[in-house]
Amino acid sequence: MPRQLACKDPSTFKTLPLYVEATAEGLYYRSQGLPLNFAQMQERRRPIAVAESQQFATELANLGVSVRLTLNWQGRDYWLLVRQRRPDRGDVVLKLISGYVPAHELNLPLLTAIQEVAEECLIETADGWLGGRFGDTWLPTPYQPLRYRETCHFRLSPLSGAACPIQCGNLTLLERPQAYVHLPTASLQLVYDMRLELPKDCRLPSLFHVDECLEDGQLIARLERRRPDLYLLPLRQGRPSGELFTLRRGQLQPASCRGLWLSESFAEQDGWLVRDERIRWKDWLARLAQEEQEAGRLAG
Protein backbone atom coordinates (compact mmCIF):
# COMPACT_ATOMS: atom_id res chain seq x y z
CA MET A 1 0.00 0.00 0.00
CA PRO A 2 1.38 3.48 -0.86
CA ARG A 3 2.86 5.36 2.08
CA GLN A 4 2.24 9.09 2.35
CA LEU A 5 5.47 10.96 3.02
CA ALA A 6 4.53 14.63 2.78
CA CYS A 7 1.68 17.06 2.17
CA LYS A 8 2.26 20.62 0.89
CA ASP A 9 0.10 23.63 0.14
CA PRO A 10 0.82 24.54 -3.53
CA SER A 11 -0.16 28.15 -2.89
CA THR A 12 3.15 28.66 -1.06
CA PHE A 13 5.09 28.18 -4.32
CA LYS A 14 6.04 31.38 -6.13
CA THR A 15 8.12 31.88 -9.25
CA LEU A 16 8.75 34.68 -11.75
CA PRO A 17 8.29 34.89 -15.52
CA LEU A 18 11.45 35.33 -17.57
CA TYR A 19 12.94 37.49 -20.28
CA VAL A 20 15.49 35.52 -22.35
CA GLU A 21 18.04 36.60 -24.95
CA ALA A 22 19.97 33.97 -26.90
CA THR A 23 22.86 34.15 -29.34
CA ALA A 24 25.22 31.57 -30.82
CA GLU A 25 27.70 32.46 -28.03
CA GLY A 26 25.43 32.07 -25.00
CA LEU A 27 22.08 32.61 -23.32
CA TYR A 28 20.99 35.32 -20.89
CA TYR A 29 17.89 35.33 -18.68
CA ARG A 30 16.39 37.54 -15.99
CA SER A 31 13.12 37.75 -14.12
CA GLN A 32 10.39 39.96 -15.48
CA GLY A 33 7.04 40.99 -14.06
CA LEU A 34 5.16 40.01 -10.92
CA PRO A 35 5.47 36.73 -8.97
CA LEU A 36 3.30 33.84 -10.12
CA ASN A 37 1.74 31.10 -8.03
CA PHE A 38 1.58 27.53 -9.31
CA ALA A 39 -1.77 27.94 -11.11
CA GLN A 40 -0.74 31.22 -12.73
CA MET A 41 2.52 29.68 -13.94
CA GLN A 42 0.67 26.71 -15.47
CA GLU A 43 -1.70 29.10 -17.24
CA ARG A 44 1.28 30.82 -18.90
CA ARG A 45 2.87 27.55 -20.05
CA ARG A 46 1.33 27.70 -23.52
CA PRO A 47 2.96 27.22 -26.95
CA ILE A 48 5.01 30.06 -28.38
CA ALA A 49 6.80 30.58 -31.69
CA VAL A 50 10.40 31.72 -32.19
CA ALA A 51 11.68 32.49 -35.68
CA GLU A 52 15.42 31.82 -35.26
CA SER A 53 16.85 28.93 -33.26
CA GLN A 54 20.25 30.52 -32.50
CA GLN A 55 19.42 34.18 -31.93
CA PHE A 56 16.21 35.52 -30.39
CA ALA A 57 14.64 37.38 -27.49
CA THR A 58 11.39 36.23 -25.89
CA GLU A 59 9.32 36.14 -22.72
CA LEU A 60 8.82 32.79 -20.98
CA ALA A 61 6.55 31.41 -18.26
CA ASN A 62 9.14 29.90 -15.93
CA LEU A 63 12.57 28.40 -15.30
CA GLY A 64 12.95 24.67 -14.75
CA VAL A 65 15.91 22.46 -13.86
CA SER A 66 16.76 18.86 -14.68
CA VAL A 67 19.56 16.59 -13.45
CA ARG A 68 21.18 14.03 -15.73
CA LEU A 69 22.34 11.79 -12.91
CA THR A 70 24.99 9.11 -13.54
CA LEU A 71 25.38 6.24 -11.05
CA ASN A 72 28.23 3.73 -11.13
CA TRP A 73 26.95 0.36 -9.95
CA GLN A 74 29.25 -2.67 -9.88
CA GLY A 75 31.68 -1.11 -12.35
CA ARG A 76 29.16 0.15 -14.90
CA ASP A 77 27.65 3.60 -15.42
CA TYR A 78 23.88 4.14 -15.54
CA TRP A 79 21.69 7.17 -16.10
CA LEU A 80 18.84 7.47 -13.61
CA LEU A 81 15.41 8.17 -15.14
CA VAL A 82 12.06 8.56 -13.41
CA ARG A 83 8.52 7.85 -14.56
CA GLN A 84 6.13 10.79 -14.42
CA ARG A 85 2.43 11.11 -15.10
CA ARG A 86 1.81 14.57 -16.55
CA PRO A 87 -1.89 15.48 -16.17
CA ASP A 88 -1.34 18.88 -17.82
CA ARG A 89 -0.06 17.13 -20.98
CA GLY A 90 -2.08 13.92 -20.75
CA ASP A 91 0.83 11.50 -20.95
CA VAL A 92 3.26 9.29 -19.02
CA VAL A 93 6.97 9.62 -19.78
CA LEU A 94 10.39 8.71 -18.51
CA LYS A 95 12.35 11.85 -17.72
CA LEU A 96 15.33 13.25 -15.91
CA ILE A 97 14.86 14.28 -12.30
CA SER A 98 13.47 17.80 -12.62
CA GLY A 99 11.41 20.57 -11.09
CA TYR A 100 10.34 24.21 -11.20
CA VAL A 101 12.68 26.88 -9.85
CA PRO A 102 11.10 29.13 -7.19
CA ALA A 103 11.53 32.90 -7.34
CA HIS A 104 14.18 33.09 -4.61
CA GLU A 105 16.47 30.61 -6.45
CA LEU A 106 16.31 31.99 -10.00
CA ASN A 107 19.93 33.13 -9.74
CA LEU A 108 21.00 29.89 -7.97
CA PRO A 109 19.14 27.14 -9.86
CA LEU A 110 21.76 24.59 -8.76
CA LEU A 111 20.15 24.67 -5.30
CA THR A 112 16.80 23.69 -6.81
CA ALA A 113 18.49 20.92 -8.80
CA ILE A 114 20.10 19.23 -5.80
CA GLN A 115 16.91 19.59 -3.76
CA GLU A 116 15.01 17.82 -6.56
CA VAL A 117 17.49 14.93 -6.28
CA ALA A 118 16.81 14.73 -2.53
CA GLU A 119 13.04 14.72 -3.09
CA GLU A 120 12.74 12.50 -6.17
CA CYS A 121 15.58 9.96 -5.82
CA LEU A 122 15.25 7.90 -2.65
CA ILE A 123 17.90 5.33 -1.74
CA GLU A 124 17.04 2.67 0.82
CA THR A 125 19.73 0.38 2.23
CA ALA A 126 19.65 -2.55 4.64
CA ASP A 127 20.45 -0.04 7.42
CA GLY A 128 18.06 2.80 6.51
CA TRP A 129 17.61 5.63 4.00
CA LEU A 130 20.53 7.71 2.69
CA GLY A 131 20.84 11.46 2.86
CA GLY A 132 23.27 13.21 0.53
CA ARG A 133 25.90 15.91 0.06
CA PHE A 134 26.94 18.10 -2.86
CA GLY A 135 30.44 19.30 -2.06
CA ASP A 136 30.14 20.92 1.37
CA THR A 137 26.36 21.33 1.11
CA TRP A 138 24.08 18.83 2.83
CA LEU A 139 20.98 17.95 0.84
CA PRO A 140 17.68 18.28 2.69
CA THR A 141 16.04 15.19 4.15
CA PRO A 142 12.51 16.09 3.06
CA TYR A 143 10.45 13.15 4.32
CA GLN A 144 10.10 12.95 8.08
CA PRO A 145 8.50 9.46 8.16
CA LEU A 146 11.72 7.93 6.75
CA ARG A 147 14.64 6.93 8.98
CA TYR A 148 17.67 8.57 7.41
CA ARG A 149 21.10 7.23 8.36
CA GLU A 150 23.23 9.68 10.35
CA THR A 151 26.68 8.19 9.69
CA CYS A 152 26.43 7.42 5.98
CA HIS A 153 25.40 9.41 2.90
CA PHE A 154 25.69 9.52 -0.89
CA ARG A 155 27.68 12.19 -2.72
CA LEU A 156 26.77 14.33 -5.71
CA SER A 157 29.50 15.86 -7.85
CA PRO A 158 29.34 17.92 -11.06
CA LEU A 159 30.37 16.49 -14.42
CA SER A 160 31.68 18.57 -17.32
CA GLY A 161 29.34 21.36 -18.35
CA ALA A 162 28.05 22.66 -21.68
CA ALA A 163 30.21 24.68 -24.03
CA CYS A 164 28.03 27.82 -24.14
CA PRO A 165 27.74 29.98 -21.01
CA ILE A 166 24.41 30.71 -19.31
CA GLN A 167 23.98 34.05 -17.59
CA CYS A 168 21.36 35.13 -15.04
CA GLY A 169 21.44 38.92 -14.86
CA ASN A 170 25.08 39.77 -14.23
CA LEU A 171 25.91 36.30 -12.89
CA THR A 172 27.36 33.54 -15.07
CA LEU A 173 26.33 30.06 -13.90
CA LEU A 174 29.66 28.41 -13.07
CA GLU A 175 28.41 24.83 -13.47
CA ARG A 176 27.66 25.56 -17.17
CA PRO A 177 24.38 23.63 -17.45
CA GLN A 178 22.96 22.71 -20.83
CA ALA A 179 19.98 24.91 -21.71
CA TYR A 180 17.01 24.82 -24.04
CA VAL A 181 13.82 26.79 -24.57
CA HIS A 182 10.84 24.46 -24.76
CA LEU A 183 8.40 26.04 -27.18
CA PRO A 184 5.26 23.99 -26.30
CA THR A 185 5.41 25.16 -22.66
CA ALA A 186 7.14 28.56 -23.06
CA SER A 187 9.80 27.58 -20.53
CA LEU A 188 13.56 27.67 -20.11
CA GLN A 189 15.11 24.41 -18.90
CA LEU A 190 18.62 24.04 -17.44
CA VAL A 191 20.13 20.53 -17.42
CA TYR A 192 22.89 19.75 -14.90
CA ASP A 193 25.18 16.75 -15.40
CA MET A 194 26.04 15.12 -12.06
CA ARG A 195 27.46 11.90 -10.70
CA LEU A 196 25.93 10.07 -7.73
CA GLU A 197 28.38 8.05 -5.63
CA LEU A 198 27.07 5.51 -3.13
CA PRO A 199 28.99 4.98 0.14
CA LYS A 200 31.24 1.91 0.33
CA ASP A 201 29.23 0.35 3.15
CA CYS A 202 25.94 0.66 1.22
CA ARG A 203 24.34 -2.78 1.63
CA LEU A 204 21.48 -4.03 -0.55
CA PRO A 205 20.43 -0.64 -2.00
CA SER A 206 17.01 -0.08 -3.55
CA LEU A 207 16.10 2.98 -5.63
CA PHE A 208 12.67 4.62 -5.53
CA HIS A 209 11.14 7.68 -7.16
CA VAL A 210 8.71 9.87 -5.24
CA ASP A 211 6.76 12.57 -7.03
CA GLU A 212 4.05 14.96 -5.89
CA CYS A 213 0.50 14.83 -7.21
CA LEU A 214 -2.28 17.35 -6.70
CA GLU A 215 -5.19 15.96 -4.66
CA ASP A 216 -8.00 18.10 -3.20
CA GLY A 217 -5.88 21.21 -3.50
CA GLN A 218 -2.82 19.69 -1.78
CA LEU A 219 0.45 18.32 -3.16
CA ILE A 220 0.82 14.77 -1.85
CA ALA A 221 4.06 12.75 -1.99
CA ARG A 222 3.75 8.97 -1.67
CA LEU A 223 6.16 6.04 -1.71
CA GLU A 224 4.90 2.96 -3.54
CA ARG A 225 7.29 0.05 -3.17
CA ARG A 226 5.58 -2.12 -5.77
CA ARG A 227 6.24 0.56 -8.42
CA PRO A 228 9.67 2.08 -7.77
CA ASP A 229 9.34 4.30 -10.90
CA LEU A 230 13.12 4.92 -10.93
CA TYR A 231 15.03 3.25 -13.75
CA LEU A 232 18.68 2.62 -14.56
CA LEU A 233 19.69 3.10 -18.20
CA PRO A 234 23.08 1.40 -18.86
CA LEU A 235 25.79 3.29 -20.73
CA ARG A 236 28.27 1.68 -23.09
CA GLN A 237 31.35 3.86 -23.59
CA GLY A 238 29.28 6.80 -22.40
CA ARG A 239 26.38 6.19 -24.80
CA PRO A 240 22.92 4.95 -23.74
CA SER A 241 22.01 1.33 -24.46
CA GLY A 242 18.55 0.01 -25.25
CA GLU A 243 17.95 -1.54 -21.81
CA LEU A 244 16.25 -0.48 -18.59
CA PHE A 245 16.51 -1.87 -15.06
CA THR A 246 15.26 -1.22 -11.56
CA LEU A 247 17.49 -1.79 -8.50
CA ARG A 248 15.99 -3.69 -5.55
CA ARG A 249 18.00 -4.93 -2.59
CA GLY A 250 21.20 -4.76 -4.60
CA GLN A 251 19.85 -6.71 -7.59
CA LEU A 252 19.23 -5.31 -11.06
CA GLN A 253 15.83 -6.33 -12.42
CA PRO A 254 15.04 -5.90 -16.15
CA ALA A 255 12.19 -3.50 -16.98
CA SER A 256 10.04 -3.53 -20.10
CA CYS A 257 10.75 -0.88 -22.73
CA ARG A 258 7.58 -1.59 -24.69
CA GLY A 259 5.56 1.47 -25.64
CA LEU A 260 7.79 3.87 -23.71
CA TRP A 261 7.92 7.61 -24.29
CA LEU A 262 10.65 9.98 -23.14
CA SER A 263 10.22 13.62 -22.15
CA GLU A 264 11.24 16.54 -24.34
CA SER A 265 14.78 16.70 -22.91
CA PHE A 266 15.54 13.61 -25.06
CA ALA A 267 13.99 15.10 -28.21
CA GLU A 268 16.03 16.75 -30.93
CA GLN A 269 17.37 20.21 -30.07
CA ASP A 270 17.73 22.84 -32.81
CA GLY A 271 20.07 25.54 -31.57
CA TRP A 272 18.51 26.64 -28.28
CA LEU A 273 15.05 25.28 -29.15
CA VAL A 274 13.17 22.05 -28.44
CA ARG A 275 9.88 21.81 -30.32
CA ASP A 276 8.54 18.39 -29.27
CA GLU A 277 6.54 17.44 -26.17
CA ARG A 278 8.00 13.92 -26.08
CA ILE A 279 9.75 11.28 -28.18
CA ARG A 280 9.20 7.53 -28.51
CA TRP A 281 11.86 5.38 -26.87
CA LYS A 282 12.48 3.46 -30.11
CA ASP A 283 12.74 6.68 -32.15
CA TRP A 284 15.26 8.10 -29.69
CA LEU A 285 17.42 4.98 -29.89
CA ALA A 286 17.25 5.07 -33.70
CA ARG A 287 18.38 8.69 -33.73
CA LEU A 288 21.30 7.89 -31.41
CA ALA A 289 22.37 5.02 -33.69
CA GLN A 290 22.21 7.28 -36.73
CA GLU A 291 24.27 9.97 -35.00
CA GLU A 292 26.86 7.36 -34.04
CA GLN A 293 27.09 6.10 -37.63
CA GLU A 294 27.50 9.64 -38.96
CA ALA A 295 30.20 10.37 -36.38
CA GLY A 296 31.99 7.17 -37.41
CA ARG A 297 31.94 8.14 -41.07
CA LEU A 298 33.32 11.61 -40.29
CA ALA A 299 36.07 10.11 -38.10
CA GLY A 300 36.94 7.60 -40.86
pTM: 0.94
The pLDDT of residue 300 is 59
Q: Which residues neighbour 183 within 8 Å (Cβ) at sequence distance 6 or greater?
A: 47, 48, 49, 50, 273, 274, 275
Output Rg (C-alpha) for the chain, integer angstroms: 19
The HSE-up count of residue 255 (CA atoms within 13 Å, CB side) is 24
Q: What's residue 2's pLDDT?
A: 79
Q: Please report the pLDDT score of residue 52 as a whole number.
A: 96
Q: What is the DSSP letter of 139?
A: P
Burial 230-260 (b: 16+ CB within 10 A, else e): bbbbbeeeeebeeebbbbbeeebeebeeeeb
* Euclidean distance between CA atoms 186 and 20, whole angstroms: 11
**For the chain, which ranges sit under pLDDT 50?**
none
Predicted local confidence at residue 299, as pLDDT: 65
The whole-angstrom separation of Cα 127 and Cα 47 is: 47
Provide the residue ranges of all domains of the chain, joining segments of one domain with +: 3-299
Q: pLDDT at position 283, please?
A: 95
